Every structure is written in C-alpha cells, then in structure tokens.
Amino acid sequence: MKIGFVGLGIMGKPMAKNLLKAGHEVVAFDIMDANVAEVVAAGAVAGSSAADVASQVPLVITMLPNSPHVKSVVMGEKGILEGAAEGTILVDMSSIAPLASQEVEKACAAKGVRMLDAPVSGGEPKAIDGSLAIMVGGDKALFEEVKDLLLVMGATAVHCGAIGAGNTTKLANQIIVGLNIAAVAEAFTLVRKAGVDPQLVFEAIKGGLAGSTVMNAKVPMMIDGNFKPGFKIDLHIKDLANALDTAHTVGSPLPLTAAVREMMETLHADGNGQDDHSGLAKYYAKVSGTRIGK
C-alpha cells in the first residue's frame, strides 16, 4: 500500500521505517530535512509538504507533537486537507487533546476525509521494534479496515470508542505511567537514603505486586544515571496538561496528576526537559540531596 507519513520525529521515524520493512511504499514529510533524509535513505519518497503527501496516497499517518501542530498540518495552508481527495483516510497517531481530535475530524468529514485518532504507548524502543500499544477512536468499520496496517507498527491495536476515545485512553495511560515513575523514584530515593542497595531492592520486589513494566524499564535507568530520552519530560508535561484540561472539562479531579506535572515543570525549569521521564529521579535528588544511582 502507498502510505503518507507526516511527522518524522523520535517516534515517527522508526514507525515509517517499519512500514517500509513490511513492503509498503511511504511518501514522507517533516519540517526537518534531516529527518526526511533518514527515512528516504531507508526507501521512502520525500514529499514537499503535507498537502503534497496527501495528494499522492489513499492513507496518511500523522505523528506530531501536540494539538496545534495537528490542526495546522491537517487544516492549515499546504495541509493535508488541501491535498487529500475525497475518501482519503487520515490516521492521526499523535497524542493530543480528545476535543482537538473531534475538531479535526469534523473538518475532515466536511472534505470527505475519514479519520481515526490512534495514539500510541511504548516510547522509542517499542516504536523501533514495532511493538507499540495503539489506542484507536473513530468509526469501528474504518478501524477494522486499517487494523492490519496498524499492527505493522504495534503489538496491539484496540478500538476504544468514538473519535477522541483513543486520545482519552492515551491520557489515562500517561497518568498511570507518570505517577508510576514518580512512585518508583520516590521509593528508590528512600532506599538509597536508608543505605540499602537499590539494585538489590529492585531484584527483590520486581516480581511482586509492586512490579510493573514501568519499574522494569525505568529503575535500571535511574540506577545507571542514564536519562537518554525514550520519552521526554517535556512531552509528558504536554500529555499531563492535556489530561488536566480534559479532566476540568468533564469534572474529573486529578490531584496526583497535577502534583506530578509540577514535579516535571520543576525539571523543565532546571533545564532537564529533554531528559527521559525517568528523570523524575532528578526531582527527588534535588529535594532530598541524594541520587538513586550514579
């Protein structure tokens, strides 16, 4: 299948490459020429704009930072709707506000373009190995039409409801991940300050009820002092801001989410926003005077 891909950042590049490896043709665009060049080197064809990409393909995937970027790329000048023919499918795999997904879908429907919101979880490692968890909102029949394609990039793809449901599911995911990282950072700071070896504690508890995918992925990074980003703090701040905005709209209290977001804002202010979100350990180092690892 010939697929358009707009947005070739830390997640989009490996996702586009996995489509190429699976035998699909990819027409790619990003505002960063180096990102396009890397995907072209893997076999893609470069588009000159989002509109140009959409004009060449029956299906476009977008993977962009936040709601304003998606609105601009889809609805703005030289955007997808400018180039897309009636019947084109748009699969927005960005993590954005659910209400923004609904707004973009209305604009798409007016042009005869069919849209799904399909954010992902798993960060760069799972984008590379094609094992992302994909959460999808929109028409169920359209989901079934593109599900096999989604499973080229992910290990799972679950239809969660109407348009925006994918991003609501992703917000729930990001709340749980963020709070889990904060919890293990807090706990392992206590371990270090109490004079116990964090590695031994990790080995002792990871198989019990406290164990989690987050613990397995992030505690070794904290112990090693390795905060190379798989998912950046600044992006998690964006997701938690969307969660809080959505929660305020529907009347759902998120006190723990608000607290963790403020921890991340502190790290951003300290110049650590480009670190992996396991860098929450640095927040606890700042307030406790003790690092978990190196």
Catalytic (active site) residue 2: no
Residues 18 and 39: their CA atoms lie apart, in Å, by 10
**Catalytic residue, candidates 13, 17, 126, 170:** 170
> For residue 203, with 0-12 CB atoms within 10 Å meaning exposed, 13-18 middle and 19 or more buried, which class applies?
exposed
For residue 23, report the phi and psi dihedrals to the nearest 5 degrees. Answer: 95, 5
Residues 244 and 232: their CA atoms lie apart, in Å, by 19
Q: Catalytic residue numbers?
A: 170
